[in-house]
Chain A
Amino acid sequence: DTGVSQDPRHKITKRGQNVTFRCDPISEHNRLYWYRQTLGQGPEFLTYFQNEAQLEKSRLLSDRFSAERPKGSFSTLEIQRTEQGDSAMYLCASSRRGQPQHFGDGTRLSIL
């Protein structure tokens, strides 16, 4: 399978804990995106990388959220001091310039 891969698929944690998600994009895609999706809603943009540079961050991305793409390949999204409101599906997508984004199947985060 050469699509976008996300790990883990599910994460259950207690409020206040830190969590980290990983995304492996399609190998020839230099652009990588993180989204958050809650039940019954469309994905909401969080942040975007071109190669290793983080070019854009949404106001939704509070100080507790940090994303990295150190070598321009895989990316990680970390949430510190998780809160109930962080419960959502976190989606990663990748693309080449001018091409549609292709999504992974997401990491579902549940905060107890």
Chain B
Amino acid sequence: GESVGLHLPTLSVQEGDNSIINCAYSNSASDYFIWYKQESGKGPQFIIDIRSNMDKRQGQRVTVLLNKTVKHLSLQIAATQPGDSAVYFCAERGNDMRFGAGTRLTVKP
């Protein structure tokens, strides 16, 4: 069946380095993709979104890249800070909104 998945379950980076979190999706009909950040005990927090007619979108310290050819989505975080430590989910909207299992980002001081 269709699914959303992440390549790595955990990612550890040094404070100040850039982080890249990857996501693979398989529903070619998905037209909208979102990255969420979830801290312990809280709900997912919207970070950035991208529609399927775009291949790149930038926010404050974050960039999302969409490669529809290989059905791949990535989230780049520039100058990673300790406050960025969390679980990051990608989500795709096809018939409904589907989330991957998440990547836990740990930022080392």
Contacts and interface: CB of A to CB of B under 8 A. Distances in A.
B83 interface: no
16 contacts: A33-B97, A42-B91, A42-B101, A44-B99, A45-B96, A91-B43, A91-B44, A100-B49, A101-B34, A101-B97, A103-B43, A103-B44, A103-B45, A104-B43, A105-B41, A105-B42
A41 interface: yes
Interface in B28-67: 34, 36, 41-46, 49
A40 B87 CA distance: 9
Contacts of A43: 44, 89, 99
Interface of B: 4, 34, 36, 41-46, 49, 89, 91, 96-102
A15 interface: no
A41 B89 CA distance: 9
Interface of B is mostly: strand
A41 B87 CA distance: 10
Interface in A56-112: 56, 58, 91, 93, 100-106
B42 A102 contact: no
Nearest to A44: B99
A73 to B, nearest CB: 19
A48 interface: yes
A56 B45 contact: no
B46 A100 contact: yes
A4 interface: yes
Nearest to A6: B43
Contacts of B46: 100-103
B53 to A, nearest CB: 13
A105 B49 contact: no
B24 to A, nearest CB: 14
